[in-house]
Amino acid sequence: MKKVGILTGGGDCPGLNSVIRAVVRYAIQENYRVAGIKNGWKGLVENDTVELNLQSVSGILPMGGTILGTSRTNPYKKENDIKNAKENFKKMGLEALIAVGGEDTLGVAHKLYKDGFNVVGAPKTIDNDLNCTDVTFGFDTALNVATDAIDRLHTTAESHHRIMIVEVMGRHAGWIALESGIAGGADVILIPEIPIDIDEVCGIIKKRYFRGKTFSIVVAAEGAQFKKGTMVLQEEKLDAFGHVRLGGIGQRIGEEIEKRTGYETRVTVLGHVQRGGTPTAFDRVLGTRFGIKAMELVLKKDYGKMASVQGNKIIAVSLEAAVSELKTVDMEFYNIAKIFFG
């Protein structure tokens, strides 16, 4: 029997299990065996796999996280790791490998493909910053979590006449901040793509006060910055893909606003709550469609490609194009949000 491998890498997100389930169900129907590679690229380096069958994917559709586990391992970081990964790919007897991940995981998938291995991808990330796809699964769930938090903060902000800063995820792209801010009726939305103008922010808040609105909601992406290149870090240590740990910009913004306006301010950091829990119906359906497309690419031997959604169609794009640059916030979209500021 032919064998296909699947792994999930990078930050987990809701909907990963629907991709795994779709791949397994379709692969078995097509007489393939499925090797579940554990903990992202780490499992390929260490030859850590589990056989996936109908039983293993039963009941996983509503589950958050990934039944395969994940890691931020970059096998190309160490010569020995990539050597082992390539040997294990062969040892496992894989006809092809499906990598489910964001720009880092799919960057490795692309390199592996260039090195002569049969690899395809499926795009995930709550940040929604992957190129060549309208949306990634996981984003919708994170967006709904953030919107729910903003709704809840509204009632307490109004009662106490406070400014509430909500720090959401979004390292280089402010999609979660933008869309949860629009959906939750935020008074200011701060994203990594545009440096923060604190005078403008305070001006908007003061104007609201003068028209009787004695509370405000400010949504800030964790990657928002006062000046380009001044991201607020929790830790400077770089991970295997060269990323630092962000967090804390909400606090800085809150302090500045309180100091300049004199209005009482509180800060809420949503953090990993946005990545956990059960996926929305949208993410389950998108994950399912991506999984089927990825397996279809394997069946057609159309390697080096990634499943993507454009309009309402699931299509294949090259991994190379998908990882070539990040999809940052569209300024036309941001301008819609600005109409509702204040």
Given 33, 38, 252, 275, the residue binding ligand F6P (CB under 6 A): 275
Size of the site for ligand F6P (CB under 6 A): 13
Interacting span for ligand F6P (CB under 6 A) from 31-39, 82-90, 168-176, 261-269: 168-176
| Catalytic residue chosen out of the listed positions 127, 129, 140, 283 | 127
Residue 169 binds to ligand F6P (criterion: CB under 6 A): yes
Q: Which of residues 10-29 bind ligand F6P (CB under 6 A)?
A: 10-11
Give 248-252's long-range contacts (Cβ < 8 A, gap of 24+): 249/167, 249/190, 249/220, 249/221, 249/222, 249/223, 249/224, 249/225, 250/165, 250/166, 250/167, 250/220, 250/222, 251/165, 251/167, 252/226
> Which lies closer to ligand F6P via its Cβ, residue 195 or residue 247?
247
Name the minimum Å distance from CB 233 to ligand F6P: 11
Sign of the C-alpha dihedral, residues 56, 57, 60, 66? positive
The length of the chain in residues reads 342
Give the residue among 166, 169, 179, 104 at the shortest CA–CA distance from 134: 179
Residue 187 known to be catalytic:
no
Per CB under 6 A, does 170 bind ligand F6P? yes
The answer to whether 70 and 55 have CB atoms below 8 angstroms apart is no
Q: How far is Cα 199 from Cα 257, in angstroms, rounded to an integer?
A: 9
C-beta of 165 vs 246, nearer to ligand F6P: 246
Q: State how far the Cα of 172 lies from the Cα of 196, in Å rounded to an integer.
A: 14
Selected from 162, 171, 208, 284, the binder of ligand F6P by CB under 6 A is 171
Q: Which of residues 115-144 bind ligand F6P (CB under 6 A)?
A: 125-127
Residues that bind ligand F6P (CB under 6 A): 10-11, 102, 125-127, 169-171, 222, 245-246, 275
Q: Which residues are catalytic?
A: 127
